Structures are given as C-alpha cells and as structure tokens.
Structure 1
Amino acid sequence: AQIAAITQSSGDLILNVDSDTTIAPDVVSKLAHKMRDPAVGAAMGQMKASNQADTWLTRLIDMEYWLACNEERAAQARFGAVMCCCGPCAMYRRSAMLSLLDQYETQLYRGKPSDFGEDRHLTILMLSAGFRTEYVPSAIAATVVPDTMGVYLRQQLRWARSTFRDTLLALPVLPGLDRYLTLDAIGQNVGLLLLALSVLTGIGQFALTATVPWWTILVIGSMTLVRCSVAAYRARELRFLGFALHTLLNIFLLIPLKAYALCTLS
C-alpha cells in the first residue's frame, strides 16, 4: 500500500503517518519548512504516546520516546544524519523516494527478503544517496504504544532485529558522515554490551562467592540517576526520575531479548 501511494502521488513531499498516530495541526508545515532545503531527504517529528496515562508501561514508553527523540535523534540531527526517521510521522522528498524505490521495495538481508524496520531501512537508503535526514522537535505526533508487556516485548524484538540489521547496512555509509555518527553507532552497541557484561559479572560474583556485587549495583544505579536527573531537568518534568525503572526492565528483559534478536537475525 505504501509503495502504491508513493508511485501514485504527485506532490514534491510525502508525509508518512501510521494509522494509530495523531499529528498536531502544524506538523505538515513545520516538516515542510525543514524540507525546503533540497539537501534534506527526510525529516521526522517528535513522538509521544497518545495513551500515556493508561498504564505504568505506557508512561514509561512515553518517557522512552522523549529521550529517544530529544537526546538521540536531536544529537544525530545536529550532525546532519538522523539514523532512523520514525515511521509514525516522517516526511520524505518524493523524488528521492522514487529513485530509491526499487531498493526499498526489495529489502534483502543476507540474500533473504526482510519485512521489518522499513523506516530505519529507508533512512539508511536516504543517507546512502547523499541526503541529510533531520529532526523537528516542534512537530508533535502522538501514537498508540503497547500497554501490556507481551506486546511491548514483541515490538522490541522487531526493533532490535531492525537495529542490528541496519547498523550493519549503515557501516559503508558512516565514513561519509560526521565522525560523531560513527561514535554514536559504536556507543549504542558497545554500551549495551558493557551493561550486559557488567550484569553477567555481578551475577557470576554472587553465584560463585555468595557476595552481593555492590560496586556493580552502585555504578549502574549512579549512571541511571544521573541520566534520569538530566532528563528531568531538560524536560522540566520530575516524572523522568521514574524512568529509573527502565534500567531494571532493560537488565532483566530487554538485554536478553536483544541477545535473542541478534542470535536469530536472518
């Protein structure tokens, strides 16, 4: 359906909005303003959870989206290359999309068709073609997020596979981008690995010596507190202190899930 819409469209710009996403009245104008620069191939808005108030999980995901947009994407945009223009609300240059359509439609990974992570894959194709990708924080879009753990973990599994796959596909692109983007890609993957090793080391210490790995707990707890405090200060919202709960979610559920995603990537 998306491919058909692209080929049958006639404007200069194409706005992609998910069916469960509501955009603010000024989103189109703000994204279009950013796209006035012909060097920009895609621009995304800031994502929020429309069902934020439903459960503790939706509140946590809403904060996760804020951090992903206003830390990760904002930093990447500063250097001209948002590595994933999120599918729920992103604008693309039609001429660029048409030139990339064959590659986009026939996504392959290790010679096999791949049908997940379309937004990240399209962003990488845009960067490969020499376009910039941007983030517009004032273009607000609200999307429905998972409200149960099972749905959330299935979503995270898809996203983890997409991230691992497209990180590999982006490797040839990174040398042509600002060096920060290479550092960012390394940091996101090495940081996850270091956290996993720290947790495994702590578990090993407890299992072998029956002693609590206080230093490991202290370091992880301190880093969590600093991150949440900075987010609370920047967002001017104390609720971000509660994002510390995400560290436990990350350690006990998301890291094992991402390890599984990497092992089953095909």
Structure 2
Amino acid sequence: MAVEENKERAWVGVIRRIVTISFAFLVLGGVTWAFADSIPLATDEYRILAFGIYGAFLAFHLIIQSLFAFLEHRKMRRGGQACSYSRTVALTISAYQEDPNYLRECLESVKNTEYPPDKLKIIMVIDGNKEEDQYMMDMFKEVFVNEDVGTYNWKYNYHSWDMAQGAQSFIAEDNPEGVLDSVWTIQGATEKRSGAMYDNSNEQIYEDIKEADLPVYTDIVSEDPGRYEVEQLIKTKRCVCIMQKWGGKREVMYTAFKALGDTVDYVQVCDSDTKLDPLATLELVKVLESNDRYGAVGGDVRILNLQDSYISFMSSLRYWIAFNVERACQSYFDCVSCISGPLGLYRNDLLQTFLESWYNQKFLGTHCTFGDDRHLTNRMLSIGYATKYTARSKCYSETPAQFLRWLSQQTRWTKSYFREWLYNSLWWHKHHLWMTYESIIAGIFPFFVTITVIKLFFSCHLWDIIWVLITIQLIATIKALYACFLRGNMVMIFMSLYAVLYMVGLLPTKYFAIITMNKSSWGTSGRKKVVGNYMPLLPLSIWGSILLAGLIYTLVMTFTNAGCAILDVELNYLIYGSTAYVSYWLFMICLYWLWIRRLCRKRSDYYDIQG
C-alpha cells in the first residue's frame, strides 16, 4: 500500500513539473511576443500615440495583482482565530555596529512585546566581539536589568574554531563545571595533524604534548568550550546577549538558531534597527497556529526614519507597496517570496531541518553571506510549506537616508533576488501557478524596460523620449492612486515620484548587482560608519552616458535628417506633453515641501500604527 502511494505521489510530482514548466514557457513566450511585436491596439489618427498589447498586458497584471491584494487584506481584517498562548517563541535580534538610539528603541520595543514572558525568549547576537562592540551588550543588560539575563563574549563563532590553534586543556579542580576563562593552548600542531584530530586520530597531536608541560588533572578539549557556554545560556536563560567573532549576518542568525535547537516552537527574526509594535509577535503566532501548512509568516515593515530625507521618505512608500500590495497578493496564494528580516516567524522544527543547508549555501562556488532572509524563505518553500503575510503585525525599521547607502542596500537586495530567483524556480511546481507567473514577470521586467528606454532614446524622434517619460509617470501615478484607496491615505500619491528613483538609480544598479553577484558582504555599512564606497555610482554613470548619447543623437538627427524632422502636429504633442510632464513634477515637488516636510518635523507622525 505504501509503495503504491509513493508511486502515485511520484507521478503527481512529474505531472506538476510538466504543467509548471509548460505554463512558465507559455507566460515567457507570450510576454516576449507581446513586447517584441509591438502590435498597437489603439492609436490616434496621426499614429503618434499608441497603446499596444504589451501595455495592455501590464495593465492587466497590475489590476489582478491589486485585486488579489485587496482580497487578502479583506481576509486579514476579519481577524481569524484567537491565540492559544501555548506556543513558545524565541525572538532573535541580529546586531552589527548599530546606532545606539535605534538599538535602544529596538530593545525597549522587544521588552514591551505583549506575549507571555514564560513563553518568550529574547536572544541578541552581536556580530563582533571587540571593545568597540561592547556598548551594545551593555545596553542590553541595562534594558533588561530586571529580567533573567545571561551574557557572554565568545572569542570565536560556530565556524571559526580552529583546532590547530585553539585546542585547549583545563585544570579540572580549578574549573569543576568546565566553564573556563584561562586556557592552556596546544602549540605547534600542523594543519595535517589538525585534520587528523577531526578524524578522531588524536594520537599524533598528543605526541607533541610533553607530560611535563601539562598541569595536573588536565583534559584535552576537542570542541570550543565557548560553544557549550553559549548553548547553555540560551537554553537556560530568558534574555541572552552574545558577542561573537565577526562573520556576517548569516553567521549571527545561525548562532541563535543552532543554540536554540528544539527548545522552542517558533523562531522570530528581528534586526537591531527595528522597533516592534507590541502586538507584532502575537499576530504572527496567530497566523502559524491557524494552519499547520503555514511554515513561515512575515509582517508589515514600515520606515522608522522617513523624516530624514527624500530617499527615506520614498522608501517608506515603496515599502508599503511592496508589503501591502505585492506580498499581500502572494500571500493570497500562500507563496510569499521573502519573509523580511526585520519581522518574520518560522516553525522551528522545520527550520532546524534545513539550517545547515541554509548556512552552507553556495553560488558559483562562493559561500553566500547576504540574502539570508530570502533564502530562508526559499528553503521553507522548497519543502512544500506555505509562506504568509499579515498586515496586522507591524514594525518600524531604519532605512538608508543617504543616496550611496541606499544604492548599496539595493545592490545587495538585487544580488540576492536574482540568485534566489534561480533557486526558487526549482520549487515552482510545489506551489500555486501564481508563483511561477509572478516570478517570470518580475524577473524579465527590468530588461524589457531597459530595452524600451534605449530604443526610444535612439529613435531619432524627440516625441518618443517625452512619450516614454510620460508613460512611466502615468503608470506610477495609477499605482499610487490605487495605493491611496487601499491604504486610505492620500500620502501614497507621492509614490508616483518613485519612478525617477527607479529609472535613474535602481534600474542600472540591477545590472551592476548581476555582474558582482559573487561579492559577499553585509552590503550596507554599520550605521556608525560613513559610507566610503562609490562603486555603486559606476552603473549610474554608464546608464546616464547611454541616455545622454541617445538624447544627443536624437537632437542631431531631428535637425539634420528630413525623415526625423518634427511635424507640425507632432510639435503640438511635444509642447503639450512636455508642459504636462514638467507641471506635474513642479506641483508634486511643491506639495512635498509644503505638506510632507512639515509633517516630518513631528516625530510622532511616523509612529502612527494605524496609518
């Protein structure tokens, strides 16, 4: 009976793969044909304005995406079942050179989380164990002074222990519990002999140790004793702060996950620049409790410092669209592509099954250190579990306010997006066809936009350049108006201004990210440091040069080539179109300075949970 069931499942898997692959090629072929063929569905009498099949397809995509997002929000507003308060949760915080003000707000918000204290562990792991990192541990102890706190400064981390240099012996009578501060280190062990120790062939190492050199009652330890101390603290204390050797964010997260083992039901992730809503954890738990098929759930991430600059303000609007339209739509089909690092909850028993694979991820032979949240989500999707989003769980997170830091962040995110796109495609057949459809559309969209813009800039018709700018702005405005309706807040109209950031900054950055995909780092520097990396400006310079060359070419051809000369009727379109485009921008910029900049001076405005 079991054999027959396994055969049936195998056939179902094969059929689902065939259907998914066929559907993927159908979508890719259809969209490519619509883009390449440029068949107009409607034109004016002079064929200066046109609306084609590809434009109709994009409009249809935006409509259905918005519709499913709306339906998912309607389900969220119903509330769902009550929380049982029986699940244990470990709230993990990843910290790296954090701004003291943001860190304090994060810790205070975690302390005020409305979830039973006996069911909630709080673990902060700091990526760095030097004196300059000590302020973060001190602040943790200060905030949780009345709690059951445990702290430890780990000399290593889970993957930096070197037995050739760090094999240690201890005097048992001076350290009866095996927790030691002073150590005796074996010197002179070769790399070959270090490898022998990993193979449990310790006799060769022992030959290097003279009896006269060893203290009385000495034990040879083949594992880092700091690891034992970390695991004991995390398993026995409610609030724990660990400082460890620098290894990147994924190393920090791994420490918390690994040390927890199977001691809790759910694991919540949080960044050290994130301020949690008091009900954030509770709302996440309610979602996972509601259905055993749900493996992970993410919450609504808002921007903490939207008043800092135009960049941070626009990021706040983009975040809202990304979570409450794009991920809400994905959640309707149970396939959210990324549980964001500032606010997410995972089933711990499932997480532990792919923890090592997640940490040891490689791409083109290079160990991956960024894109940890997206790959963690992908691992959950790969085993067939659903991923969800709930707008009822909220947090506020810091975003880069300087253009260079924003570019670095976007470069890192784009690298992980395209890398994880390839990995995600392996599991499309395990989920709804929407995941396949949306992945293809989102994956090819930047390339089609690039081709369209370059083609029109070199078309030798000045109106084509104005028309592409108007079209981009028109699409952005329509999306912004829908966001105003969905959110119930007219501030979303400023989302239409994000188009210029996308075209000038984000679009060329995508190509730079693809070329440098194997370069691994945190991507954005610690908030205590000034950005000194100007490499992200290189693709912007190249992109700007291409567009400038296209504009010059078009202007030259307009005045020297009779076939490119401006017609009288086209001149009217050019004047009216340019006037409308410039007027719109002038109006929106004035509105921004008169309305938004004044509101941003009041700190309380950007903590509006209901907005």
TM-score, length basis structure 2:
0.42
Counterpart selection for 1:16 from 258, 262, 269:
269
Measured in 1, the distance between the counterparts of 2:456 and 2:313 equals 29
Letter of the 2:297 partner, please give it.
A
Letter of the 2:379 partner, please give it.
L
| Partner SS, residue 22 of structure 1 | strand
Aligned partner of 2:183 in structure 1 is none
Counterpart selection for 1:112 from 336, 361, 366:
366
CA distance 1:136–1:211, shift in 2 (3 Å): closer
Counterpart selection for 1:4 from 255, 278, 287:
255
Q: For residues 218-257 of structure 1, what are the structure 2 equivalents within 5 Å?
A: 218-257=470-509
| Partner SS, residue 35 of structure 1 | helix
Aligned partner of 2:389 in structure 1 is 135
Deviation track 1:41-75 (CA, whole Å, cap 9, x = no partner) reads: 11111000011122221111011110000111101
Q: CA deviation at 1:80?
A: 0.6
Aligned partner of 1:68 in structure 2 is 322
Measured in 1, the distance between the counterparts of 2:461 and 2:411 equals 34
Measured in 1, the distance between the counterparts of 2:510 and 2:454 equals 15
Q: Which runs of 5+ in 1 are unaligned?
A: none
Bigger Rg over Cα: 2
Q: For residues 1-266 of structure 1, what are the structure 2 equivalents within 5 Å?
A: 1-9=252-260, 10-36=263-289, 37-205=291-459, 208-209=460-461, 213-266=465-518
| Partner SS, residue 92 of structure 1 | strand
Q: Which runs of 5+ in 2 are unaligned?
A: 1-251, 519-611
**Which 10-residue stretch deviates more, 25-34 or 215-224?**
215-224
Measured in 1, the distance between the counterparts of 2:352 and 2:359 equals 11
Q: CA deviation at 1:152?
A: 0.3
Letter of the 1:2 partner, please give it.
M
Q: How many residues align?
A: 264
C-alpha contact 2:476 2:497 (8 A) present in aligned 1: no
Deviation track 1:162-212 (CA, whole Å, cap 9, x = no partner) reads: 00000001111112211111111111122222222221122212xx45555
Measured in 1, the distance between the counterparts of 2:492 and 2:455 equals 28
Letter of the 2:483 partner, please give it.
A
Measured in 1, the distance between the counterparts of 2:312 and 2:437 equals 30
| Partner SS, residue 400 of structure 2 | coil
| Partner SS, residue 122 of structure 1 | helix
C-alpha contact 1:49 1:143 (8 A) present in aligned 2: yes
Letter of the 1:122 partner, please give it.
L
| Partner SS, residue 396 of structure 2 | strand
| Partner SS, residue 171 of structure 1 | helix
C-alpha contact 2:298 2:388 (8 A) present in aligned 1: yes
C-alpha contact 2:295 2:380 (8 A) present in aligned 1: yes
TM-score, length basis structure 1:
0.95
| Partner SS, residue 305 of structure 2 | coil
Q: CA deviation at 1:7?
A: 2.2
RMSD: 1.3
| Partner SS, residue 173 of structure 1 | helix
Letter of the 1:259 partner, please give it.
Y
C-alpha contact 1:48 1:143 (8 A) present in aligned 2: yes
Letter of the 2:255 partner, please give it.
A
Identity %: 25
Letter of the 1:31 partner, please give it.
L
C-alpha contact 1:196 1:251 (8 A) present in aligned 2: no
Q: CA deviation at 1:237?
A: 1.6
Q: CA deviation at 1:213?
A: 2.3
| Partner SS, residue 354 of structure 2 | helix
Q: CA deviation at 1:214?
A: 3.1
